[in-house]
Chains A and B, each alone.
Chain A
Amino acid sequence: MNIKISILAAATFVFAFSCKKYEDYPVERITNNIVYDSLDKNATYAEWVVNGIYAFLPNGYNRIDNVVLDAATDDAVASSFGSNIEVLGKSRLSAVNNPDDKWAPAYEAIRRANLFLANIDVVPRDAVTKAYWKAEVRFIRAMSYFELLRRYGGVPLLGDKAYSLEENILVKRSTFDEVVAYIVQECDAIFPSLRTDPIDNTNLGRITQAAALALKSRTLLLAASPLNNPADDPARWAAAAAAANSVISLGKYSLAGNFRDVFTVRKSPEVILAYQAAQHSNLERQNAPVGYVEPNVSQGYVSPTQQLVDAFPMLNGLAITDAASGYNPANPYAGRDPRLAATVFYNGMMWLGRSVETFEGGLDNPSAEVRVARRTRTGYYMRKFLGDFAAASDYSNQNHNFPIFRYAEILLNYAEAANETDNRGAAYTQLKDIRKRAGLQAGADGLYGLKANMSKAEMREAIRLERRLELAFEEHRYWDLRRWKVAEQTLNKQVSGVKITRNANGTFAYSYQPVDYVSFAAKQYLYPVPYKEVTASGGNITQNKDW
């Protein structure tokens, strides 16, 4: 073989394999100018961006280690020992361990919103739709700031700025009042651009004008509350009352006829904004008593406390401690506020065609040798939000849209703020409406068991009790106790449960015993800012007091 052939062969070798067959970079990637396409009249991707931002609305239910946030209060305990909710309920919270940390997700929502607002104008979708989207996105941004506000106090306000990697992000924390002002100002600004209520079926779940008003109401109530209003400035209460009243005077919402329907009907006259989800039966499987078998195996993650059960009045509206209430300790669940049965599972209630058995050794509170993952620690399971499976044989998918704002809360917001501004008449009206809908008896005085002529302090307690009952497990009490600055008193105690013994003749004997404790340290009124944020800020982000 001569040299030429060798060289030729070698050259062929190299070039045979070196021709270009692929693009230089993956051209299928969706770039910024495809998402915000100046030629796309449908704004397909831009709309999807909005959809993605919607998912940052606050959700609830069993979101912390399979239990509800309120299991960190005196309303419930986790059925499992050593659940992560104890970090919140037993003062083990720290700047590096917070199961309810919302710092990063909130700022992620804010970034997405700001990027959308900065880019959407190039997309040739019709102006009306774009205006809706912008307002919706701004609402979610404001809502994210609210979620930050009640957890951490004042946080950095970024305005419309979405930072890039190259920028050194050195923003100071704004004050509590500045964040409140920002949220209120945003709510006011977007109000005219939002869809009006009631919303049509196609757009159900989208943010409406009432949602903006409701956010404003909740924000101003937080600002007027004792934690943030130590001087008890009446102007703040007045502002809170006015904001709540503006939702009422909108005249578009009303209390649903049936308390239970609020949580399982996709479109309720009471729900102002809910976290939308596909139908499912996960909630039933997570929360129903543990004694059901395939295919209805249920986990019973939450054990409501005796304290919560005892807080529910009798059907006549009187507290069970009231001698006139007619409460029978030998039959403690009879003749109670109907909301009790809608909120907790108690012994003898019907579920999936049989009675719930939470007595000692019953199917849902079995003896030791029965191998179940967990059993109720209090004698109760959480019933709220679940579909009606009293008589059904198997679970089926249900609507489970977590109510972010519902009308009953607005009424209670209004009652609370009105009472503080000495408008007790308004407070009575709201409480009566809520108790009436709950199914309590009006009584001869038409007060639904409320004491007549209550003082401001008495009325305050009545409203606080009503919030606990009406809004149980909806992530209100956890925040309310902080907002009212009573957590140190309310959340440092033993919580108890019931021990039910079935007698030979089929009757039950009830005894009560402590099952666990909750604890709260004063510094917990605000969460610690995540440690990493403090160190990374170079001194701009200060840690909250005592953390």
Chain B
Amino acid sequence: MNNYIKIIFSLFFLAPVAAYATGPFFQDTARLPLQQDSIYPLFFAQKQKDRLVSAVGFADGEALRAVPLTGIGNALTGRIAGLATTQENGEPGNDQPVFSLRGRTPLVLVDGIPRNIYTILPEQVASVTVLKDALSTAALGLRGADGVIMITTRKEAAQLGHNMDFSVNTGIAQPLQQRELLSSAAYAELYNEALQNDGRPALYTADDIAKYRNGSAPYTHPDNNWNARIMEKQAPYQRYVLSADGKTEALGYFLSIDYLKQEGLLNQNSLNSYSTNVDYRRFGFRGNVSIDLSPRTKLSLNIHGSSRRRNAPGGAAALSFAPNTGRLDISTGSVSGLFNSILNTPANAYPVYNPNGSFGGNQLFSNNIWGQSTGAGYSQINMNDGLADLLLERDMSDVWKGWWIKATASYTMEIIHNIIRNKNFATYEMKITGANDTLYRQFGSISEQNNSSGVSVRNGSLFMDFSTGVSRSWKEHHLDVALHYQRSTARYGSQLPFVIKNGIFRAEYRMGNRYIVDLAASYSGNNWYKPGHQYNLYPAAGIGWNVHNENFFPENGLVDHLKLRTTYGLTGRIDANYFSYLYTYSNYGSAYYIGTGAGGVQGTEESQLPYVRTTEKALKWNIGTDIGMLNNRATLSVDYYRNQFFDLLQQRGRNTALLGAPYPAENIGKSLYTGLEATARWADKVNALDYYIAANMAIQRGRVTYNDQAAQAYPWMETTGDRIGQQYGYIADGFVTSAGEGPVVEGYRSVPGDLKYRDLNGDGVINFYDVTKIGPDKPEIYYGISAGITLKGFDLSLQIAGLANRMMSLTGLGEWEFQNEGRGPAFPHHYGRWTPETAATATYPRLTAGFNPNNHVNSSFWLASADFLRLKTVALGYTFRGGVLDRLKIKGCRVFASGYNLLTFSGQDRFDPENGSLGYPLQRILNGGISIKF
């Protein structure tokens, strides 16, 4: 096969062939000057950088592998302009981030097919391409509008020969910041103050407080630090990966087997013969093999399987499932419940154990946290998935020059099997009655392990692509045309299959590598939509001008690469909802009770009113430039985009209850996302020192341009034009200084130290008419910096990521004092409360024992900056080569140490600014390992 055909043909091909072919051992392409002949994998196509007119982000797998992570998602943080990640949960096996690409949540594809990101390990990844604009996603049809993160797995080696790589990683994970709670004595003092503020008698005597402080009565006056009690300071993890790739005359392959064991951070009870920790184990393999059946025919088979097991204390495992994107979220309810309990339990609530060894508890807190963590049995979620891709491609140049055909079929299945071996425990309240007579009052009941199991998810999906195309050149004119027919069928439980059919047309015309015209269109549809409304055409076009290839372009060594490019097109987003166009009724049991017997009678009611949905759509415009200077040592890419979304599903603004039924979501809304992205890089080589520094930044703004809002009573209640995710509330206006002072919430009788609010409509009271936008209206900014050096055998790299102009509302759990009818705990920041003495310096309203209808409502007072900057990764390695290793037939051996989430800078010192520290903590990972190449 000649080089040209190779480029056109080999879909799913190993990404930067050039980098692999020419790069030194362990070379990271990111460290090299930008290669204009780098090949970017696109959706069922691939292109050299020079031919690209789309806005595409790219991360090389080799760089991602330097990060000590168990999944690929968090490795992408800060690497690609416009792609932001937010990690909400650190629970092993459930720790992948939420992606945001140009303000939307992108689709994740693995080798062109939507898949669960948890099944992919960094070792299997050749590259990640982020498709940002209309042209690059047009081929996806009704799944393209939110952008795409396209993961391409490694394929056969680039060069003849065989390579084997065995690597061992071992490390520890430490929790990032968790919320601190007040000690019992401090809690009791503040609680008394809060009661006094409410005009209620104090609860704790001076003697109580003294006992809390000196710990002289640990059973009646306990002082627990639950975070310390249930959490380890660190937990180990290990990873073993054996991978091999190679190529012979007729055969190419990539094989990988990996094993991961990550322990959770929960303390264990040595009395248990089983683990109640949130351990995660993963075993996976991948084999990507291609065979040249004839000089013009290639058959590829990719198989992949993974088996993941998550353990958790207690019972329930919650499952949420989005069939449209294939995204499956599994959270063990018991783990989030555990951290919820910690943030809801004051330090003095009950002793961990009573003197007789039983769990402490009482009517108020009948759920002992230590019991919840270690005494409630355990459950396991076993997630197994397997896939097989079969590809057949034939170069038909022998029939007609430049013609090719190709067929792909891929089958995936996923089974989630829960094993629940939980039990109930009882807690006891100790009561000393009279002389030496101790009574125990029981709460809850004890049960033996209740063993159950079930298959909660059983999915299968089949994907097919049949394509053909022609590539022809005449002198300096080049034309590539391709046609695809794609069909994907996914089955979820007992539902009818979710079928997407997609016809794709692509054409690219180039003139002398100077002018590029690129067209792509998809006609795609889905069977869950109403017939007649199933299909839409999604066209897109782009033009590019490689100015540096013009004759007039001066070759002065200053600017050696300059490209201008722009794309425009229509993309779609499917949110089908199961046959929502049908008018149906549903039955339900025990609607009412009629007769003297106790049995209920059944009911029948209208289901959600039908609405003929179509896809949500976006018209996207992108304009950008790529500049290379000083022998391409300095590169800069800048992109501006303007994405107009329309037909967004929402309830109509003028929905009235007079209809007597909830309004369905209709294709009504419009929003506009605009932004600017820039990526700059400097890379050079000084003698033996290779180094690079790269930075990217995205300024992003999303606005609701139309939401069908009915005319409002006051202009500040209008929400059209607001930023997406805008917070609303009262505008806080200082503290009340004398009882009865206002303006405060209507009907509320203020006392000194309460919040005052701005009375926008001037009616003397604060109510919903005074709710407006709170917080600033600036665009969000995401940025990342990466840098690296290699010197002789040493290599060092680091990655920084951050964001700015994000506000978070610090309300509710973990923030407000004594919530849940006064049962809740207090936190150190409550020391900043208003008291008559601290009136001038107070940072928090006066305390209330329970819910305060004036202070505990959304207002600008609770807004705080969530800006942060994190040193995400640092990796240091040394590679041994030659000498003894040569004699052992070892090509190289790298020892390395790396860290993840090492440092965080933010304005918040009480919690982690990324996830708010309300659940299982995010982690800092310190990792070391060795990798041997044969």
Q: Which residues of A contact B (CB under 8 A)?
A: 1, 3, 6-7, 9-10, 13-14, 17-18, 22-26, 29-32, 34-35, 45, 48-49, 51-52, 54-55, 80-82, 86-87, 90-97, 103-104, 107-112, 114-115, 156, 158, 162-163, 165, 168-169, 171, 201-206, 266-267, 276-279, 290, 293-294, 297, 368-374, 519, 521, 530-533, 535-538
Q: Which A-B residue pairs are the 3 nearest by beta carbons?
A: A111-B660, A52-B603, A92-B747
Interface membership of B556, Cβ < 8 A: no
Asked if A169 and B584 sit within 8 Å, CB to CB, the answer is no
CB-CB < 8 A to A24: which residues of B?
A: 527, 531
Residues of A contacting B604 in the complex (Cβ-Cβ under 8 angstroms): 30, 35, 45, 48-49, 51-52
Residues of the B chain whose Cβ atoms lie less than 8 Å from the Cβ of A538: 654, 710-711
B862 nearest CB across to chain A (Å):
18
Q: Which residues of the partner chain B approach A537 to less than 8 Å between Cβ atoms?
A: 654, 656
Q: A151: shortest Cβ distance to chain B, in Å?
A: 13
B476: Cβ under 8 A from any A Cβ = no
Given A29-B584, A373-B364 in contact, is the A203-B297 Cβ separation under 8 Å? no
Contact partners of A279 in chain B: CB under 8 A:
598
In the bound complex, do residue A30 and residue B587 qualify as a contact, i.e. CB atoms below 8 Å apart? yes
B314 at the A interface (CB under 8 A) = no
CB distance A54 to B349 under 8 Å? no
Q: Is the CB of B585 within 8 A of A81?
A: no
- B284 to chain A minimum Cβ distance, whole angstroms, is 26
**Using a CB-CB cutoff of 8 Å, which residues 551-608 of chain B contact chain A?**
578-579, 582-588, 590-596, 598-606
Taking the closest CB of chain A, its distance from the CB of B652, in whole angstroms, is 9
Complex contact B603–A92 (CB within 8 A)? no
> Which residues of the other chain, B, contact A25 by a CB distance below 8 angstroms?
496, 579, 582
- The answer to whether B443 touches A294 (Cβ under 8 A) is yes
Measured between alpha carbons, how far is A100 from B600 in the docked complex, in Å? 26
* CB atoms of B605 and A52 under 8 A apart: yes
Q: In chain A, what residue has the closest Cβ to B205? A: A368
Is the CB–CB distance between B853 and A110 below 8 Å? Answer: no
Residues of the A chain whose Cβ atoms lie less than 8 Å from the Cβ of B363: 290, 297, 371-373
Q: Which residues of B sit under 8 angstroms from A29, Cβ to Cβ? A: 579, 582, 584
Q: Interface majority SS on B: helix, strand, loop or mixed?
A: loop
B-chain residues with CB within 8 Å of residue A48 when the two chains form the complex: 587, 591, 601-604
B602 pairs with A51, CB closer than 8 A: yes
Which one of B224-232, B844-852, B891-899 is at the A interface? B844-852
| Residues of B bordering A, CB below 8 Å | 198, 200-201, 203-204, 208, 220, 293-294, 297, 349-350, 362-365, 390, 392, 394, 396, 398-399, 405, 407, 409, 429, 441-445, 462, 464, 466, 485, 487, 489, 495-497, 527, 531, 578-579, 582-588, 590-596, 598-606, 609, 611, 653-661, 663-664, 710-713, 745-748, 767-768, 821-823, 848-853
Closest to A5 in B: B297
CB-defined contacts of B658 to chain A, threshold 8 Å: 107, 156, 158, 163, 169, 171, 533
Tell me, in angstroms, the Cα distance from A262 to B639 when the chains sit together: 76
B204, B599, B768: the one within 8 Å of A368 (CB):
B204
Beta-carbon contact of A373 and B821 below 8 Å: yes
B656 touches A94 (CB 8 A): no
Q: How many A-B residue pairs have CB under 8 A?
A: 251
Choice from A92, A204, A293, A297 contacting B746 with Cβ under 8 Å: A92
Distance in angstroms between the alpha carbons of A93 and B392 in the assembled complex: 69
Tell me the complex Cα distance, A87–B591, Å.
30
Residues of B within 8 A of A93 (CB): 747
Q: Which residues of B are found within 8 Å of A168, using beta-carbon distances?
A: 654
State which of A13, A18, A82, A110 has its C-beta within 8 Å of the C-beta of B850.
A82
Assembled-state Cα–Cα distance A537/B656 (Å): 7
Cβ-defined partner of B585 (8 Å) among A45, A104, A169, A530: A45
B464-A17 in contact (CB<8A) = yes
Do the beta carbons of B396 and A49 come within 8 Å of each other?
no
By the criterion CB–CB under 8 Å, are B660 and A112 in contact? yes
A49 and B605 contact, CB distance less than 8 A: yes
| Distance between A64 CB and nearest chain B CB, rounded to angstroms | 15
| Interface pair B595/A1, CB less than 8 Å apart | no
Asked if residues B203 and A368 are in contact (CB atoms below 8 Å), the reply is yes
Q: A156, A276, A279: which has the most chain B beta carbons within 10 Å? A: A276
A163 touches which one: B294, B659, B822 (CB < 8 A)?
B659
Which chain B residues lie closer than 8 Å to A30 at the CB level? 584-587, 604
Give the complex CA separation of A530 and B848 in angstroms.
30
Contact at B659–A204, with CB atoms within 8 Å?
Answer: no
Alpha-carbon distance A23/B531, docked complex (angstroms): 13
A475 to chain B, nearest CB (A): 20
A24-B527, A90-B748 are known; give 16 further A-B pairs, CB within 8 A: A6-B405, A10-B407, A26-B496, A30-B585, A35-B604, A45-B604, A48-B601, A81-B198, A81-B850, A82-B850, A108-B661, A111-B660, A165-B664, A535-B654, A536-B710, A537-B654
Q: A49-B603, A80-B821, A110-B660 are in contact. Are A54 and B748 (CB under 8 A)?
A: no
CA distance A82 to B659 in the complex (A): 34
Q: A1-B294, A51-B603 are in contact. Are A202 and B746 (CB under 8 A)?
A: no
Q: Which residues of A contact B396 (CB under 8 A)?
A: 3
Could you list 28 A-B pairs, sorted by A, with CB under 8 Å? Answer: A1-B293, A18-B487, A25-B496, A29-B584, A30-B586, A30-B587, A45-B587, A48-B602, A48-B603, A49-B603, A51-B594, A51-B602, A52-B603, A55-B591, A81-B822, A82-B850, A86-B853, A93-B747, A94-B768, A96-B768, A112-B606, A203-B594, A204-B594, A204-B596, A276-B593, A278-B598, A532-B655, A537-B656
Q: Which residues of chain B have C-beta atoms less than 8 A from A95's C-beta?
A: 768
CB distance from B491 to the nearest CB of A (A): 9
Cα of A538 to Cα of B711 in the assembled complex, Å: 8
**When the two chains form their complex, are residues A10 and B663 in contact, meaning their CB atoms are under 8 A apart?**
no
Q: Is the CB of A205 within 8 A of B399?
A: no
Q: Which residue of A lies closest to B609 (CB)?
A: A165
Q: Contact between B594 and A205 (Cβ–Cβ < 8 Å)?
A: yes
Q: Which listed residue (A6, A32, A54) contacts B592, Cβ 8 A?
A: A54
> Cβ of A52 and Cβ of B663 under 8 Å apart?
no
List, in ascending order, chain A residues with CB within 8 A of B713's CB: 531, 535
User: In the complex, what's the smallest C-beta–C-beta distance from B381 to chain A, in angstroms?
Assistant: 29
> Is B392 within 8 A of A169, CB to CB?
no
B462: chain A residues at CB < 8 Å are 17
Q: Chain B residues near A521: list those with CB within 8 A.
A: 747
Complex Cα distance A3/B746, Å? Answer: 82
A3 to B405, CA, bound (A): 11
CA distance A54 to B604 in the complex (A): 11
**A536 neighbours in B (Cβ, 8 Å):** 653-656, 710
Most A-side CB within 10 Å, residue of B443, B712, B746: B746
Residues of A within 8 A of B394 (CB): 3, 6, 10
A17-B409 in contact given A52-B591, A165-B611 (Cβ < 8 Å): yes
Residue in contact with B600 in the complex, picked from A23, A171, A278, CB distance below 8 Å? A278
The reply to whether A108 and B853 form a contact with Cβ atoms under 8 Å apart is: no
A13 lies within 8 A of B407 (CB): yes
Taking CB as reference atom, which chain B residue is nearest A293?
B441
Q: Tell me which residues across on chain A come within 8 A of B444, comparing CB atoms.
A: 294
Taken together as a complex, chains A and B put the C-alpha atoms of A536 and B712 apart, in Å, by 9
Chain A nearest CB from B526 CB (Å) reads 12
Min CB–CB distance A462 → chain B (angstroms)? 33
Please tell me if the beta carbons of B603 and A10 are within 8 angstroms of each other in the complex. no
With A30-B584, A368-B204 given, is the CB distance from A108 to B663 under 8 Å? no
Known: A24-B527, A32-B585, A266-B596. A51 touches B821 (CB 8 A): no
Cα(A188)–Cα(B106), bound, Å: 61
Give CA–CA (A48, B852) in the complex, Å: 44
CA distance A65 to B43 in the complex (A): 54
Q: How far is it, in angstroms, between the C-alpha of A48 and the C-alpha of B366 when the chains are bound?
A: 41
In the assembled complex, the CB of B584 is this many whole angstroms from the nearest CB of chain A, namely: 4
Given contacts A51-B601, A94-B746, A535-B713, contact A31 B585 (CB under 8 A): yes
A18 to B605, CA, bound (A): 37
Please measure, in the bound complex, the distance between the C-alpha atom of A18 and the C-alpha atom of B294, giving whole angstroms: 28
With both chains docked as a complex, state the minimum distance between the C-beta of B459 and any C-beta of chain A, in angstroms. 15
Chain B residues whose C-beta falls within 8 Å of the C-beta of A114 in the assembled complex: 660
- Provide the bound-state CA to CA distance between A31 and B601, in Å: 20
